[in-house]
């Protein structure tokens, strides 16, 4: 009889903890959403595995409203109030453990620091190097001009043949960010010039199986670590079942970043003064190295510097390249040729003194209104990082009228924010003209625009990315018009972000990591 009572009590306790408490007694139970998501984290993990997380969450917002419970201890928001509360300056919300998967060499960096204090202290070391004024004039501007020139040479070399721009734009962004971080001598790549070794750095980025590795790393971290640290016979036995074959995501790029650091360090030990004077990120970080600055709270050791540079390198490749690809693809679609024509007219109306050696001056093209609208509309509809940005708070708080217990994971995503029909009319339509609307409508759209995040954790590379994009778009459309290559008219290019592929969902077919564009030389 006692054993029966114990069994019934165990069943009752299990039911209480797994069903009754999370669905009816927990403060989060008041937040709308499907019961299956509230019961177990594995319901959302299944969407992650299918690569449908972001679209599924967006559909839940359309059904349940601006706040949705997507897990036992996780919610997702889509409102301006939540945006201010969670991501506004001084909010107190911190990045979650999710970001630690982006540590490099066992060291945290700007992207992975939990607290605002840690992030702020590191950011002070490099923020000025990313300022808009330095992006528009000086060494950074000259570097961008050089990469634009090399990209245009790549197009010319292709002749009348269609050009695959997903790959070539990744060469462009790779070369730009490595030269900005390291300079030409210690880590600057030459992918645009055809260097096979540098181009190979992108191989593990474009491998579609990186999505499955990301899923395992987030949802089964201990198993993933065990799988990838086996050696010998066990390693060979496990190889066929690995989520992604070695080398895994970012392996080559992180090795390149570490090698670049050690080359810089070796040179700095003999010519420190001249290297510190160079306008690179690594030289700025070196000033906080123990051998230069001594030991204070801002001192960085070797792997701190290497990790920071590796983080900036990874952040500067996909984001810029993917945005440029979608921009050119969108302008090349038959229904958008009037948009392309208007952009071309603006670009070709620039006076000759807006160019230097036939390359656009960044401080001049920064003021082009229609170009700015085209880039902004691309970032809205095809945000390069469209998925959720998780945060948590150490204390209880109120969001959209609901009490959120401490350490609940809260998220928002550009994908959902940018598809709010109240802010963006016909949100799935590529329409740069929307950014020339009435002042009140424009103000509303700007409040919902979140391509670069906001608050203290806003993207530090914003101005570099904009400089690269504006310069290359002007360079291309001053010389060429573009159209989609035959056979690809009904295909949307698709990019990889975390667990998912993102593409234009209004187009019937998908071409993953492929975008074929025909460049037609203009008669100037």
- List pLDDT tens digits, range 377-424: 999 999 999 999 999 999 999 999 999 999 999 999 999 999 999 999
CA dist 103 and 29 (Å) reads 34
Given a cut of 50, whether residue 219 has pLDDT beyond it is yes
| 8 Å CB contact between 399 and 86 | yes
Which two tokens mark 341? 């024509």
Pair 116, 87: CB distance under 8 Å: no
> Quick one: which of 486, 220, 522 has its CA closest to 347?
522
Residue 294's pLDDT is what? 43
Domains of the chain plus CATH, in order, are 73-207+249-521 (1.10.630.10)
CA 9 remoteness from chain centre:
49
pLDDT given at position 293: 45
The mean pLDDT value for 485-500 works out to 94
Residue 344: closest CA among 522, 134, 168, 159? 522
pLDDT of residue 251 exceeding 80: yes
Percentage of the chain modeled with pLDDT above 90: 82
Q: What pLDDT is recorded for position 411?
A: 97
Percent of the chain with pLDDT over 70: 93
* Residue spans of beta strands (DSSP E) within 347-408: 355-356, 359-360, 391-392, 397-399, 402-404
What is the reported pLDDT for 279?
86
Question: Mean pLDDT, to the nearest integer, of 444-455?
Answer: 95
Q: What is the mean pLDDT of residues 329-358?
A: 95
Cα gap 328→477, rounded to integer Å: 10
Length in residues, the chain: 524
For residue 417, what are the contacts with CB-CB under 8 A and spacing of at least 6?
78, 83, 448, 449, 450
Q: What is the pLDDT of residues 177-202, one digit of tens each?
A: 999 999 999 999 999 999 999 999 99
Confidence at residue 249, expressed as pLDDT on a 0 to 100 scale: 87
Tell whether 459 is in a known binding site.
Answer: yes
Whole-number pLDDT of residue 23: 63
> Residue 200 corresponds to which tokens in the numbers above?
């190979």
What is the overall mean pLDDT for the chain?
92
Residue 23 or residue 149, greater confidence: 149
- pLDDT tens-digit map of 461-472: 999 999 999 999
Average pLDDT over residues 110-134: 92
Whole-model pTM? Answer: 0.94
Q: How confident is the model at residue 13 (pLDDT cuts 50, 70, 90)?
A: low
Rounded Cα gap, residues 409 and 73, in angstroms: 6
pLDDT band at 3 (very low <50, low <70, confident <90, very high): confident
């Amino acid at each position: 009889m006692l054993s029966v009572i114990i069994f019934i009590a165990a069943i009752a306790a299990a039911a209480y903890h797994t069903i009754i408490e999370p669905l009816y007694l927990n403060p989060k139970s008041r937040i709308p959403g499907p019961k299956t998501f509230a019961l177990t984290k594995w319901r959302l993990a299944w969407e992650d595995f299918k690569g449908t997380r972001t679209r599924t969450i967006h559909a839940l917002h359309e059904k349940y409203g601006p706040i949705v419970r997507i897990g036992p201890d996780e919610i997702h928001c889509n409102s301006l109030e939540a945006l201010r509360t969670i991501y506004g300056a001084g909010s107190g919300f911190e990045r979650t453990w999710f970001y630690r998967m982006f540590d490099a060499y066992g060291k945290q960096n700007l992207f992975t620091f939990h607290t605002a204090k840690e992030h702020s202290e590191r950011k002070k070391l490099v923020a000025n190097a990313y300022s808009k004024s330095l992006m528009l004039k000086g060494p950074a501007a000259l570097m961008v001009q050089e990469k634009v020139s090399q990209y245009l040479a790549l197009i010319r070399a292709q002749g009348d043949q269609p050009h695959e721009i997903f790959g070539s734009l990744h060469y462009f962004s790779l070369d730009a960010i490595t030269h900005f971080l390291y300079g030409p001598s210690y880590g600057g790549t030459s992918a645009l010039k055809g260097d096979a070794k540098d181009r190979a750095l992108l191989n593990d980025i474009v491998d579609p199986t990186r999505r499955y590795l990301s899923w395992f790393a987030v949802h089964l971290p201990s198993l993933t670590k065990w799988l990838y640290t086996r050696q010998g016979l066990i390693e060979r036995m496990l190889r066929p079942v690995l989520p992604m074959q070695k080398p895994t995501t970012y392996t080559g790029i992180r090795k390149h970043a570490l090698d670049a650091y050690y080359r810089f360090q070796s040179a700095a030990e003999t010519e420190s003064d001249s290297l510190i004077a160079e306008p690179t990120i690594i030289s700025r970080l070196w000033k906080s190295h123990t051998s230069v600055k001594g030991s204070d709270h801002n001192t960085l050791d070797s792997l701190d510097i290497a990790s920071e540079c590796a983080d900036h390198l990874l952040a500067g490749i996909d984001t810029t390249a993917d945005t440029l690809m979608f921009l050119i693809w969108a302008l090349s679609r038959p229904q958008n040729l009037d948009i392309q024509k208007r952009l071309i007219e603006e670009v070709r109306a620039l006076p000759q003194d807006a160019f230097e050696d036939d390359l656009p001056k960044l401080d001049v093209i920064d003021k082009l209104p229609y170009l700015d609208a085209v880039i902004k509309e691309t970032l809205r509809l095809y945000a390069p990082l469209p998925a959720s940005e998780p945060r948590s708070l150490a204390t209880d708080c109120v969001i959209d009228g609901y009490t959120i217990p401490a350490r609940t994971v809260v998220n928002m995503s550009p994908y959902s924010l940018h598809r709010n029909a109240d802010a963006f009319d016909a949100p799935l339509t590529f329409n740069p003209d929307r950014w020339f609307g009435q002042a009140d409508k424009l103000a509303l759209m700007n409040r919902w625009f979140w391509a670069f995040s906001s608050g203290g954790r806003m993207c530090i590379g914003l101005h570099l990315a904009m400089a690269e994009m504006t310069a290359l778009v002007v360079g291309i459309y001053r010389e060429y018009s573009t159209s989609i290559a035959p056979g690809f008219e009904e295909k949307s290019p698709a990019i990889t972000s975390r667990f998912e592929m993102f593409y234009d969902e209004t187009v019937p077919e998908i071409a993953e990591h492929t975008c074929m564009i025909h460049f037609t030389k203009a008669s100037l």
